[in-house]
Structure 1
């Protein structure tokens, strides 16, 4: 692949990429080289907007994972990496960010082809977000260290005690299909900034930008083996988690798989961090700016076709504003331009797969059977018979006990509930297995802070929603995960603390 001018249309770029992709299967990236799976197996990755095959991709098995982990271990233990200065590590990250920026237009279209989200939004969110992430963590190697501590030893000894932060070793990074490029960046950037070597396992639905990212890392000057990519299915992910040569697992995905990873990691007691599911509440008080709230709530549930862990899928609107607010959100839903993300006026693409389409459609049916009403959407858009398109949907008259209120749908479906008692509201908002995020809409600053303090969620947005930044921690309470990504907390996930005692007596 080559860098392409940003003046080219997404369809023109897609035509060139498709031609390149069709020439040969995409290989694994191990030890700085493209290699076939040892079994010779491949699998198809498809375009969700058309259902058509994009290309064949190497199908890694446990034996390929073993090679990747061993390559990462060799690279990690190589003195050229272990003794590399903090500033030199920073420069590698900066160069990688620059290369992503150089190829941003191509990467956005590649992600659109593989994931389905509109190329214009992918360019703005995923690619720019990845550039920002790598540049942010490029600043950490020279600033992440230990400290000198005052201690009080027995016997009057004069002791110098200090701590160091050392890389944990080989990290297995398993990322989902909903934000393939940015989720890879969220994990690779702090891991290599801390001095680790990594094996990245992208979702089988969206392997293409992960492989391209590994190529760019080699071009940036990263030593061979520091960043490896194995493409495949659950058996490859399981082999990574269970491998005794892996010291740390970082996973973003479903809660069910997260629990399986915890169980599988006990062999050598790997460090584990998990960013899992969500069922985020949007809480609207009667004094809120309804116009601003409606626009942001619509964006919070319908962006990326609702395939977002933080999607604001539960609306709690005060009964005094419920009808007006829900109709305003429905207006935003109806105004979305649905179609192939290569068309520049499209801002709502397909779901990732037929399996996901069936899941979302099934939940809408469940909601109706439980007594909810479809206020807008709820079906395949007219005229879009190919691909996995599903209309942005609002279910009105939802009740707390309904499955569409309790369970993560992972699609463009908003369950709307009304409330009148503040204490009951907070209890219902917290009545969830998840605690990833929440939105609060009010002009009453006291109420805003009181509710923010009472809601059990890792991120709380007041009069805004779904803002993330590599400088601030991101993660969840309860079954939404373990640990925090971004900021210093992410660096800590990929490091060990060593305490050193020196007798100066």
Structure 2
């Protein structure tokens, strides 16, 4: 696959327009399947951020006054615009992060859904409610947008993860400065066009691009009222420290080290059928990957053989081939990181059952073969730490108590699955696990069900909700004509 079209940008989206960046520094975009340069973006500086935040602050009063019904209509048009330009978005994602067709389709489809859900939520918002006490006292509760939101998103599902932040913030009446990942910023320019064309007023949505310094400056800016961040736990801790300096509220979805726990009555074929979607989607570059397999010792050989056969059946390679299931990793740095973990697994005594190398014929591109380790114990780095690559670990247990211990033996608690033919048994087992989201037999439930993430997988719950972008003010109304008294009488 060759990349003929270059996407060089020297502008940012600020105040409803594409304006020249003040910064002259540039970051290059690289196609991970070919290692070809596909374009560049500005590495925005503090003056660029000042302009974007100023535009968002100026737009805030008018966007708030527009009301929920008007915001709802605009967000519905955003969803329609994304649907109309879906293939353009997918083409940009292919070039930037090497996502295979099925993953790109999912990313853009979920993005449309999130804007539609936010549209419905905006239409249902009540700005004021009156609460009455039994003694006749009344308090008027007024809900108002928190202010300008910094939305910082990663590269693995760039449109959907940004939509979780932007759609809900806009529905609440907030304005936004978005900072996409440097690996996937080109699609955010197209998103800015879609929002502008849908009628989002000037300054309500702004985009600054750049690397870690740009993100740090945006988080630290005094005009930002709240930060919504998705990324690694290490980066999230740095964001949290900066937010703490000004007690700025933060919601952060961070890393994961999720597990699939098979009970002794599990349907192994059903588990194997979920590997593409839940096990190692996008070559393992998703925080919810069930990359740890925890299995009864008597079933270990059957499960390992099935996992290997399933991975070998996947079309591996060029993500521009619509039949490809697993493609490259996003960058040379990510490939080096994954290869480092594979070396660590071997050094710590895990048994390499599959992969662990660069596949033959893939000298160009950031490819790592699907990899399976067995004999993995809870003290190994490959068991405890997030790898973010196509690496499965298999650990055997003898009792359910040991299975719970193995499941919880990491610093993360984002997602996971429990497999059993007995729904009641699987549900009861799931209650024992320290994880925010559990799928029984790999089946996803109600998408609007509210949940949190546990341990170091999140800060502030980790899930963006419209209510999280609102503040509630209480205005008390006196009972009759009474003299003012102190709280002490």
Contact (CA 8 Å) 1:301, 1:413: kept in 2 or not?
no
CA shift at 1:470, angstroms?
4.8
| Aligned partner (choices 126, 130, 145) of residue 107 of structure 2 | 126
TM-score by length of 2: 0.94
Contact (CA 8 Å) 1:42, 1:57: kept in 2 or not?
yes
Query: Over residues 76-104 of structure 1, what are the superposed CA-to-partner deviations in whole Å (9 max), with x where a residue is unaligned?
Result: 12x3x221131110011110100100011
Contact (CA 8 Å) 1:201, 1:237: kept in 2 or not?
yes
Match of 1:461 in 2: 439
Label 1:495 to 1:61 Cα distance change in 2 as closer, same or farther (>3 A). Answer: same
Label 1:69 to 1:280 Cα distance change in 2 as closer, same or farther (>3 A). Answer: same
Confirm or deny that 1:109 pairs with 2:91: yes
Question: Distance between the aligned counterparts of 1:469 and 1:139, measured in 2?
Answer: 16
Contact (CA 8 Å) 2:29, 2:40: kept in 1 or not?
yes
Question: Distance between the aligned counterparts of 1:371 and 1:207, measured in 2?
Answer: 40
Superposition pairs of residues 38-187 of structure 1, within 5 angstroms: 38-77=22-61, 79=62, 81-123=63-105, 125-145=106-126, 147-151=129-133, 158-187=136-165
Match of 2:287 in 1: 309
RMSD: 1.7
Provide runs of 4+ in structure 1 moved above 6 Å: none
Confirm or deny that 1:500 pairs with 2:475: yes
Contact (CA 8 Å) 2:141, 2:473: kept in 1 or not?
yes
Contact (CA 8 Å) 1:282, 1:439: kept in 2 or not?
yes
Q: Secondary structure at the match of 1:320?
A: helix
Query: Over residues 37-83 of structure 1, what are the superposed CA-to-partner deviations in whole Å (9 max), with x where a residue is unaligned?
Result: 21222221111111111112111012211111111101112x3x221
- Gap regions ≥5 residues in structure 2: 481-489
Match of 1:243 in 2: 221
Question: Distance between the aligned counterparts of 2:91 and 2:423, measured in 1?
Answer: 42
Match of 1:6 in 2: none
Question: Distance between the aligned counterparts of 2:95 and 2:149, measured in 1?
Answer: 29
Match of 1:321 in 2: 299
CA shift at 1:329, angstroms?
1.1
Equivalenced residues, count: 479
Contact (CA 8 Å) 2:290, 2:417: kept in 1 or not?
yes
| Aligned partner (choices 415, 427, 442) of residue 437 of structure 1 | 415
CA shift at 1:303, angstroms?
1.0
Question: Distance between the aligned counterparts of 2:351 and 2:193, measured in 1?
Answer: 49
Label 1:297 to 1:345 Cα distance change in 2 as closer, same or farther (>3 A). Answer: closer
Match of 1:210 in 2: 188
- Gap regions ≥5 residues in structure 1: 1-10
Q: Secondary structure at the match of 1:398?
A: coil
Query: Over residues 1-59 of structure 1, what are the superposed CA-to-partner deviations in whole Å (9 max), with x where a residue is unaligned?
Result: xxxxxxxxxx8xx97xx53x44x425211111112221222221111111111112111
Contact (CA 8 Å) 1:283, 1:439: kept in 2 or not?
yes
CA shift at 1:386, angstroms?
0.6
Match of 2:460 in 1: 483
Q: Secondary structure at the match of 1:139?
A: helix
Q: Secondary structure at the match of 2:182?
A: coil
Question: Distance between the aligned counterparts of 2:449 and 2:96, measured in 1?
Answer: 29
Confirm or deny that 1:276 pairs with 2:254: yes
